[in-house]
Chain A
Amino acid sequence: MNDRQATGSPVTDPPPADLLTVSDLHVDYAGRPAVRGVSLSLRRGEILGLVGESGSGKSTLCSAITGVLPAGARVRAAGLRFDGRELTELPPEDMRRIRASRIGVVPQRPMTSLSPSTPVLRQMRWYHDGHDLADLLAQVGLRAVLDRPRDHPHRFSGGQLQRLLIVLAALARQPDLLIADEPTTTLDATVQAQVLRLLLDLRDRLGPAILYVTHDLAVVAQICDRVGVMYAGRLVESGPVSQIFTAPRHPYTRALLAALPARTERGRRLGAMPGHTVAEVTLSRERGARAGSAGCAFAPRCPVVLARCHEEEPTPITMGTDVVRCHRAGETPEAEEDA
C-alpha cells in the first residue's frame, strides 16, 4: 500500500494515461537476443494480447516486466515505466514490493504453481489471511473450496486451480497490472470459457490492466482490446483488435490469420505459412537473433519479400492506430494478397 501513496493518490493527482510503458526493450540470454527493441504501452482497464509462436519472446517479455528473468539474462531498455516509476532504476527491494503488491501473475500451469504437499485452502490463506476469503471465493463460484480444507492440489481440476490462482493474483491483492501467460492453454474449451469470463468480470469490476499472452488468436479476438504480434523477438505489429483482425498490415500477421480453420471454408486448404522447415525457421530466427544484423527476421519466410527486406531492417512505422515493422506496410493489402 505504501507504493500507492508514494506515487500520489489518484484523487488529487490523476494517474497518467499509461500504466505501463515499455520502450525499446532488449533481453539477451548469454548474448543471444530473445527480445529485441520492443515498445508497448498498457492503460488501466485495458487488455493487451501478446501473440506469437513458441520462441517468439512473449514469455521473456513478461519476465522482463516482472523482473523474474533467469540469471545470465541481460536487460536493456530505454524505459520500463510502471505507474510513473522507472522500474529499471529501482533497488531490488522496491522492485520486489511492487511485484508483490501491484503486479499479479497468472501462470500457465496451475498445478506446478502450487505446493503439492499443502492443502489448497491453507495455501490460499498464506497469501490472503482476511476473513473475506469466503467472499472472494464466492465471487468466482468457488465457495465449495471452503468445504475442502484438507484437499491437496491434485484433488482439484485444472480449471478450478486456475480460477483459484486468478483469485489469488487478481482479487486478493487487487493489483494494477495482471500478467497472464497462456493461462488457458492446458484447459478444455468449456473451462477456458469460464476462466476468460472470470478475467473479463475482474477487469470490469476492479479495472486492472491485463497483459494476456497466448498463441490462440481466437482468445485474443474474444477478450483483448489491443494486440501485439511478436516474431523472433520483435513486436512486428500492434494495434486495436478490430484493426488487426480486419486489416492486418504485417505479412506475418496475415499468415497467422490465414492459417485459422475458422476463417477458411470447411475442407479447403488453409493458408500455410511458407518456410516451416527447421532450416528455414532457424535461418529466419537466427537473423532475428543476430545483434545488429541487417534485414527483416521474417524475410526468409515472407511471401511478399523484396530485395530491400534482406538488407535493411524495417523500423516501426505508425499507421493510424497501428504500429508496423514492415517495409511494405504502406502498400495496399490487395496488391500483396495475390503474391
Chain B
Amino acid sequence: MTPVLELDHVTRRFPAGRRQTVHAVEDVSFRIDPGETLAIVGESGCGKSTVARLAVGLLPPTRGAVRIGGVPAGTRMDRETRRQVQFVSQNPWSALNPRKTIGHSVGQPLAVHGLCRSAAERAERVAELLEQVGLPAHYAARRPGGVSGGELQRVTVARALAARPRAIVLDEPTASLDVGVKATVVNLLLDLRSALGLAYVLITHELDIARHLATRVAVMYLGRIVEQGPADEVFSAPRHPYTRMLLAAVPVPDPARRNLVALSGEVPSAVHPPPGCAFHPRCPYVEDACREAVPRLIAVGDRHSACLRDGEIPADAAGGA
C-alpha cells in the first residue's frame, strides 16, 4: 500500500548567522497509512513543528524527500497531490483572516482546488463542512472576532476538510485551549477519524493528548526521532532513556499517585548539539561510546529506538503514565 504521507530521511537546517547552522530536523523518516494517527511528541525546540511544515510542503527539506501518496512533495507539487494533506495550526486566531467571514475562509480551498462548480454549490458545501465540525451553518456569515477559541479551531478543521484530504497535519491543535474546550476538540478529531477514515499527524507536547489519540508515536529530541512505535507499547513500556524521562515528567491527575521525579538538565541548543548521542549529557545510562557515535534508529519488531545501550537498560516503571 502506498502511504498517504512519507518522510524519507529528511533533514532540514537553517542558517543562524555567523556561519552557524540550526540542525532543526536530522534524518527523520516515517510513513502514515490511511486511518492511522502518528503523534510526534517532544519538548520545545525538538523540531516537531519543522516536521509539520515539511510534511505539508510549506518548507522544502535540505536533504531527503517528502512524498504525498508516493509523489514527491514540494513547490512543483500538482494540486491533486497537495490537496491530500492539509494543515491545522496551533493558533486559530492567526490562522484565519479576521476581515473575511468564516464562510469565505472555509470555502477558499473549494475555490482553489476547483471542487465546486458554482457559488451556490460552494455555499452549500461550506454549510455541510461547518455542520461536520459541529458548528451551525449560520456561522458562515460571522467573522473570527465573534467566535470562541474552541469554535475557531473547529473552523480551521472545517477548512482543512474542505479539500477532502486523506491526512491532516495538526500542529498543537489543543495547546491554546481551555480544559473543557480541549476535550470537545479531541472528540471532534476522534469522530472525524472514524467517520472519514482520515489519517492524522499530531504534533504535540501534550503527552496525554498524544496517548489518547495516537495509534503510533514518534518521540523527537533535538531534531531526531529517538523512539518510534505503536502508541500503547511506547507509552506503557518506553525503551529510550529520553522517552522514559519525558513520560516520568508528565504529572498524573491522581493525588494518590504522586510521581514527580527529580530530573536534571535541559534540552541543549540545536546550533551546537552535543557530539554523539544528543541526549548523552542528561542520560542516566550514559557510557563513553554514547559521547562519540550518533546512535541509529534500530528496529526491534515494530519498535524503533536510537540508543547504543538499547536492550541493556532494564525495563522499569518509569513510563507507567
- On A, residues with C-beta under 8 Å from B are 53-54, 141, 157, 159-160, 188-194, 196-197, 200, 215-224, 241-242, 245-246, 255-264, 266-273, 276-278, 281
Contact = CB atoms under 8 A, between A and B. Distances in A.
Interface of B: 43-44, 146-148, 150-151, 178-184, 186-187, 190-191, 205, 207-209, 211-213, 231-232, 245-246, 248-256, 258-264, 266-267, 321
Contacts of B205: 188-189
A141 B180 CA distance: 37
A263 B256 CA distance: 13
A196 B255 CA distance: 14
B178 A215 contact: yes
A258 B182 CA distance: 12
A222 B252 contact: yes
B256 A242 contact: yes
Contacts of A241: 255
Main secondary structure on A side of the interface with B: helix
Contact of B146 (A219, A221, A256, A278): A278
Contact of A263 (B213, B249, B253): B253
B178 A54 contact: yes
Closest 5 CB pairs of A and B: A259-B183, A188-B43, A261-B212, A273-B180, A270-B183
Contacts of A257: 253
Nearest to A243: B255
A282 B179 CA distance: 17
A192 B249 CA distance: 8
Contacts of B186: 261, 270
B187 A260 contact: no
A118 B150 CA distance: 39
Contacts of B146: 278
A124 B146 CA distance: 44
B148 A190 contact: no
Given A193-B263, A221-B251, A270-B187, 14 more contacts: A189-B43, A189-B207, A197-B263, A245-B254, A246-B256, A262-B211, A263-B253, A266-B212, A270-B186, A270-B212, A271-B183, A272-B180, A273-B180, A277-B148
Given A222-B260, A276-B148, A262 B208 contact: yes
Nearest to A56: B178
A240 B85 CA distance: 48
A276 B266 contact: no
Given A217-B179, A272-B184, A276-B181, A261 B209 contact: yes
B212 A53 contact: no
Nearest to A222: B251
A267 B213 contact: yes
A191 B42 CA distance: 12
B180 A256 contact: yes
Contact of A278 (B151, B183, B262): B151
B252 A221 contact: yes
A273 B178 CA distance: 11
Contacts of A189: 43, 205, 207, 246, 249-250
